[in-house]
Amino acid sequence: MKLNFQSNSLLLLLFVLLKFCLQYHLVTSEYGLHRDEFLHLDQGQHLDWGYVSVPPLTAWFSYIVYQLGNSVFWVKFFPALFGALTMVVVWKTIEVLKGNRFALILGAVSILFSVILRMNILFQPNSLDILLWTFFYYTIVQYIQTEKNKWLYVAGVVFAFGFLNKYNIVFLILGLLPAILLTSHRKVFTNKHLYLALLPAILIVLPNLLWQFQHGFPVI
């Protein structure tokens, strides 16, 4: 069993390395950055808790890019990293669902050679958006499988950072609620930890909500 775990981990590492290599070779060096990338990079020089068009999280990564030298390598590194981490989360979700090695490889290949490749070459909120949506569903799967309350708190934190990245993560919740209500898992709504998990989520998004309020809710 230990040998099998190690071989699966090495296989995952191979897929992650391949993912990074692909992201850095999909676009030739003759092409410059996309115009939206310049927008998000510029916001890194004007850090705030909100902007007219987007939440603040991408700007924080832009600030890190500037601190690392503001080279194209680092601009492309973060979306590639988020894509690789998406693959890791998919892999771990399959493991939680007791998928065999074929299922793991199929999941990794599906991520590796999908339209996400295009997303992961652009320094925009989209790559992190896909990662956080996937991670949120991973926490739901974990909670259903284990019924451990810690996954509700993790889900709350993931949702909060997803909100600071792109507001459309609200649609994830709107779609998930009726799905839970129509199954036996609706008993989660009687679990006090579900509501306690809202507290750290609210604290994380509160500065942005206050910024929205102070500026007349430009998101609307």
Render pLDDT for 169-179 as a digit per residue (tens, 0 to 9): 999 999 999 98
Q: Residue 2 has what pLDDT? A: 55
Give the model confidence (pLDDT) of 149-164 as tens digits: 999 999 999 999 999 9
What CA–CA distance (Å, rounded) separates 16 from 83? 9
Which residue is it, tokens 């609307």? Answer: 220
CB 65 within 8 A of CB 41: yes
Give the model confidence (pLDDT) of 200-216 as tens digits: 999 999 999 999 999 99
What CA–CA distance (Å, rounded) separates 132 from 154? 11
Query: For residue 1, what pLDDT band results from cuts at 50, 70 and 90?
Result: low
What CA–CA distance (Å, rounded) separates 63 from 23? 22
What CA–CA distance (Å, rounded) separates 48 from 212? 11
What CA–CA distance (Å, rounded) separates 62 from 208? 18
Q: Residue 44 has what pLDDT? A: 93
Q: Residue 16 has what pLDDT? A: 95
Nearest CA to 154 out of 107, 92, 219 is that of 92
From residue 219, alpha-carbon distances to 52, 158, 184 in Å are: 7, 21, 36
The pTM score is 0.92
b/e map 145-180, b = 16+ CB within 10 Å: eeeebebbbbbbbbbbbbbbbbbebeebeeeeeeee
Give the model confidence (pLDDT) of 19-63 as tens digits: 999 998 887 777 788 889 999 999 999 999 999 989 999 999 999
From residue 105, alpha-carbon distances to 37, 44, 137 in Å are: 32, 37, 20
What CA–CA distance (Å, rounded) separates 60 from 161? 12
